[in-house]
Amino acid sequence: MSDVPEKLAALFPPDRADALVALRRDLHRHPELSFAETRTAGALERALAPLRPASIDRVAGTGVVARIRGRDPGAPVVAVRGDIDALPIHEATGLEYASVHDGVMHACGHDVHASWAVGAAHLLAERPAAGDVLVVLQPAEETGTGAAAILASGALDDVRAIFGAHVDRRFAVGEVVAQAGPLAAAADDFFVELLGRGAHGARPHESADPVVGAAALVTALQTIVSRRVNPAIPAVVTVATLQAGTAPNVIAERATMSGTLRAVDPATRTLLASEVRRIADGIAAAHGLTANVRIDLGPPPIVNPERPAAWARTAAESLLGADAIVPLGITNMGGEDFAYYMERIPGCFLRVGAREPGGAPTPAHTPQYHAAEASLFVGAAVLAESARVASAALAGGERA
């Protein structure tokens, strides 16, 4: 049933490997949306219970946090995180364990993330870290709200370092990105309402047309990245929705649009938001309209610090060899709410190869997305070993 990478075979005997694969397939077959992961949380609790953790707690509604005992009760506590929610997408993979919930699927690999966190718990129970390790199974990553809810619960108040990872089909199974520096972007949303004056379609001079203003605004917003952001700094402004009007012969009174702002540094993040407001107000004034702008802040950027990244890299190299460590090779403008943890706790976020031999680099958040099963074992082993390396370093007096 399982396909364990050769270098990790000793860590995953058949019974353990098959159990993790069965868990992954069960979660994939029964996906649940953000903060609705009730069945998922129950399945994960049942998978963890045989390990006899020091505690298993429900937090943030549908989150699960299990404490795996370390060798020294007084040693610093570290954490590993797996996210558990799915997306509102209709699955088209054709898998025998495809989603049974129409319009909901694990199109971002969180079924693997949840399962490899359980796998890491098994490995840590068998060979403990210096201190306790919290295995965090987090809801609602896709809405960017789950990590903040876990933090607000207080469950991680004593954690000194945290590690997480994401499957990535741009990389083959067995390859791991464990590097310092930017790994994901801030992901903020903007909403613009343009209010004008409606009229008959035959008499446009009697209107203040928000559709014309909206068209001008869509174009003008593209100048933020091309003319206001330093070309050496990555940034994205995307208009994703645009609505106005009810009939072809009626000039609407209102137009709305929304989109996303992506940046990898705080100054650029602030600039993008202020420019959306400035340009929207200016375009509205030029067309005799009123602009109402709202910016909803999402996760901040992920910037891996040097020491935690070195711990994770050491862990991955010890398991897979130096050749397995690969550079990200791009600037990733995707958002990831693991960044909220890293605002308070030193840590490292990794990318774990999930492309099977001969497979295509299928993008996430698509109906065809599927992470290769063998990535499950790589993620579990690397996260468990990262926790051990970090725990030993912190217990020895190192600073993250």
Question: Rounded distance, CA 203 to CA 383, Å?
Answer: 65
Q: Which residues pair with 208 in a beta bridge?
A: 197
CA atoms within 13 A on the CB side of 360: 5
Angle between helices 375-395 and 110-126 (to 10 degrees): 50
Q: What is the DSSP letter of 208?
A: B
Q: Binding residue per annotation — 365? A: yes
Q: Binding residue per annotation — 166? A: yes
Question: Rounded distance, CA 332 to CA 302, Å?
Answer: 10
Question: Rounded distance, CA 343 to CA 265, Å?
Answer: 13
DSSP assignment of 336-390 equals: -THHHHHHHS-EEEEEEEEEPTT---PPSSSTT----TTHHHHHHHHHHHHHHHH
CB-based contact 112:40 (threshold 8 Å) = no
CB-based contact 57:41 (threshold 8 Å) = no
Q: Binding residue per annotation — 287? A: no
Q: Binding residue per annotation — 108? A: yes
Task: Look up tokens 């709410």; give the residue.
Answer: 337
Question: Rounded distance, CA 171 to CA 375, Å?
Answer: 10
User: Which residues touch 253 (CB under 8 Å, ≥6 apart)?
Assistant: 195, 196, 197, 198, 210
Strands (E), 196-282: 199-200, 235-244, 250-251, 254-263
Residues contributing to the annotated binding site for Mn(2+): 108, 110, 142, 166, 365
Residues contributing to the annotated binding site: 108, 110, 142, 166, 365
